[in-house]
Amino acid sequence: MLRAGLGRRSRCCGGLWRSPCPAAASGSARALSAASASPSPGSGGGARSGDAPPAGASNVKPLDGVKILDLTRILAGPFATMNLGDLGAEVIKVERPGAGDDTRAWGPPFAGTESVYFLSVNRNKKSIAINMKDSKGVKLIKELAAASDVFVENFVPGKLAEMGLGYEDIKKIAPHIVYCSITGYGQTGPVVQRGGYDSIAAAVSGLMHITGHEDGEPVRAGVAMTDLATGLYTYGAIMAGLLQRYKTGKGLHIDCNLLSTQVACLTHVAANYLNCKIEAKRWGTAHGSIVPYQAFKTKDGYIVVGAGNDHQFVTVCKILNLPEVSKDSRYKTNTLRVQNRKELIDILSTRFSEKATTEWLQLFEGHGVPYGPINNMQQVFSDPQVLHNGLVMEMNHPTAGRIAVPVPPSDTASVVINFSCLEHV
């Protein structure tokens, strides 16, 4: 019903809504079709195909029938709504006419002309371009909101209210709505008008201060963990909001922001300061409170080993053929090992450097000690457990051709995931 309504709207609202299909785009305006993909049979090697399972009660997804109006861009919001789409929600992604989501231009790399970054977080969505600076565009957003269960946005606080699309505005026409705002710093406070990007929030929250080599400069994590964590908090908060609405019959406003997410994720590092006034520092791959728990250089690479208790430490020493170290009074407990970190790590590092990584992996296998190699991407996606877990989805894209994206494991909580990519209304 909503889809039909959108189809009619596309024929009567002029420049407010442009069909993302290339055939429907007029002039030189670029059509918003970058993430449309159709499932295709898997090619083996652990990759999953997007083939839909047969219809039936056993294939009902948790969020079947839930409609989400998604006004988010970049990463945190799209990541949250993509995960909701994986659980069966119908996600309508609203983008700017012409340019679309900023990440459509983020590259290289590109798959054909499509940004691989954009493709990675926008499956399970339908794309629509609406000019929200136009009163007719605002009216259309309200009509969509009235027919939706969830409204997600990541504009600077107050921006949508100026357009008549803030929570109080939408609540009047959709009192049932679960309205979720994602911002850099929250809805109120001294810096809420600042733009919020992952790296900035990681810096302000202290994450960069504790990331990097012990004597080196602050380092940004290899992926945008603050954005991704905020997306997961958002995902959980929306699920909880839907459950609360089920119990109360009323909608609500959810406030998620990058700064609060990352400060909360400081966990024990924050607790060390709050309770003991211990200032945090960078530890490289090591851990401030557990020794040994870090990467060790081998003859040809690295291995990460963690001894989370005294028994595991004794086992590590046995594998390394260093029984005298496990009996040394300086290393009998974790507290002592932390206090005598440098001497112990020097001993272990010397021994690890004597063999190749694969040799150490074979020696550690089956002993109950956490360990693993530091893999590059080629090694990650040829790892037997990654292949077994089916963490890659392959599908056909109308302009990019064959694409592949990382996905959650298909059997998580016995949930049947819908892996169709962006459709177009």
Query: From CA 38, how far away is CA 123, in angstroms rounded?
Result: 10
CA distances to 94, 243, 312, 374 from 354, rounded to whole Å, are 57, 56, 21, 17
Q: Which of 149, 227, 310, 346 is catalytic?
A: 227
Query: From CA 363, how far away is CA 316, in angstroms rounded?
Result: 10
Query: From CA 51, how far away is CA 25, in angstroms rounded?
Result: 29
149 is catalytic: no
Catalytic residues: 227
